[in-house]
Amino acid sequence: MRATDNGTRAVLAGCGVAVPPLRVDNQMLARVMDTSDQWIQERSGIVSRYYVEPGVGSAELGVEAARGALTDAAVDSSEIDYVVCATMTPNHYFPGGGTLIQHGLGLRPVPALDIRQQCAGFAYGMQVVDALIRSGIATTVLLVGTDVHTSLMPFTKRTWDVLLGVEESPLEPEELEWNSRFRHLCVLFGDAAGAMVFRAEADSERGILGARLFGQGEEKEILFVPGGGSACRPWVDERMIRDGGTVPIMDGRKVFKLAVTRMPKVTTELLAENDLALDDVDVLIMHQANLRINEAAQKVLGLPDEKVHNNIQKYGNTTSATLPLCFYEAREAGKAPEGSLVAFAALGAGLHWGAVLLRL
């Protein structure tokens, strides 16, 4: 038992997901940038991803996932007494997604918190939920992870039309060259949301057992958006957009190396902190940034395939939505039955990384 432990745990009551209807495969992306299905699959494992229609933001996707989680939990929306929203792509500069989701679900005016730890956002969110519930501040918490990456893609209407097959004539070389500048990023990401409802349970063996999280700002430069923030005046201007300054900068190799070493390390440390071992884990849900990262991390940990679940092939990297979306599918596949121990691990921009243990 932890020193602050009063026996109350944040127990998972339900999980829901939202995946937009528009499936985009690698060949469709190859119409608008210098890439290929072979390159994308070999380097990342990704086969497809899903995009929202214009006008659908992360809050709308979040509401849909939250509805699914409430139904799965058989919890009435009036019971929710706290909302935590993890997103790096809020509908607006401000306010964040928390109150938009609260309103979209028709909840009473409960506290609504936004957190933005990018790919580690949902893991951070679980620690926040755990603290809210164990402290007695909240009893039934909705945690949403939602991201719409298409809003970050620097594509013209014509690029979108060619990508989607609405327009058949090929792009001009300049437009192809512009899009190809961002090919290492654009091929990786997809839109989605995932949500979980947690409930306070007294003297429970189930629930969030612990979290081990880290933040290290000195690594900011390897994955960040330079333009469109308060360090710029105005926060966005035409030149910034023309130069691609509102598109993320990513040093993929560095992120790759950090993820491969840090996700297994923090998972092992967290298990030890909780007097548990790798053998006790029923399923490991890792952030889905690259299948090669997860294969390497699995090898470091020595876990068999049936104890790891990956779904990046279908969805790409969905940032804050990834952990609940991957958990949801692992549970559907029968890998996470009641009583099982789920380990979550993630690493992303900030730099933020960490692991969480959840007993179902």
Which residue ranges make up the site for ligand UT7 (CB under 6 A)?
A: 35, 39-40, 43-44, 119, 183-184, 187, 223, 250, 252-253, 255-256, 259, 287, 289-290, 317, 348
Q: Which of 91, 179, 311, 317 is catalytic?
A: 317
CB of 347 to ligand UT7, least distance (A): 7
Rounded Cα–Cα distance for residues 302 and 292 (Å): 15
Q: Which of 15, 85, 119, 186 is catalytic?
A: 119
CB of 360 to ligand UT7, least distance (A): 25
Closest residue (Cβ) to ligand UT7? 252
Our CB check for ligand UT7 shows the closer of 66 and 119 to be: 119
Rounded Cα–Cα distance for residues 221 and 233 (Å): 20
Residue with the two structure tokens 């192809």: 176
- Burial of residue 204 (CB within 10 Å: 0-12, 13-18, 19+) is middle
Rounded Cα–Cα distance for residues 314 and 296 (Å): 19
Task: Indicate if 184 belongs to the active site.
Answer: no
Our CB check for ligand UT7 shows the closer of 8 and 26 to be: 26
Our CB check for ligand UT7 shows the closer of 24 and 289 to be: 289
Q: Which of 149, 287, 309, 352 is catalytic?
A: 287
CB of 19 to ligand UT7, least distance (A): 18
Rounded Cα–Cα distance for residues 285 and 250 (Å): 23
Rounded alpha-carbon distances, angstroms, from residue 315 to 46, 152, 266, 345, 350:
7, 17, 25, 18, 23
Rounded Cα–Cα distance for residues 65 and 101 (Å): 10
Task: Indicate if 85 belongs to the active site.
Answer: no
Rounded alpha-carbon distances, angstroms, from residue 92 to 100, 156, 289:
10, 21, 25
Our CB check for ligand UT7 shows the closer of 65 and 222 to be: 222
Secondary structure letter of residue 317 according to DSSP: B
Rounded alpha-carbon distances, angstroms, from residue 52 to 61, 84, 99, 149:
9, 22, 21, 9
Our CB check for ligand UT7 shows the closer of 227 and 248 to be: 248
Our CB check for ligand UT7 shows the closer of 40 and 52 to be: 40
Task: Indicate if 287 belongs to the active site.
Answer: yes
CB of 225 to ligand UT7, least distance (A): 13
Choose among 163, 188, 180: nearest CA to 43: 188
Three-class SS of residue 52? coil
CB of 112 to ligand UT7, least distance (A): 25
CB of 155 to ligand UT7, least distance (A): 14
Could you give the residue numbers annotated as active site?
Answer: 119, 287, 317
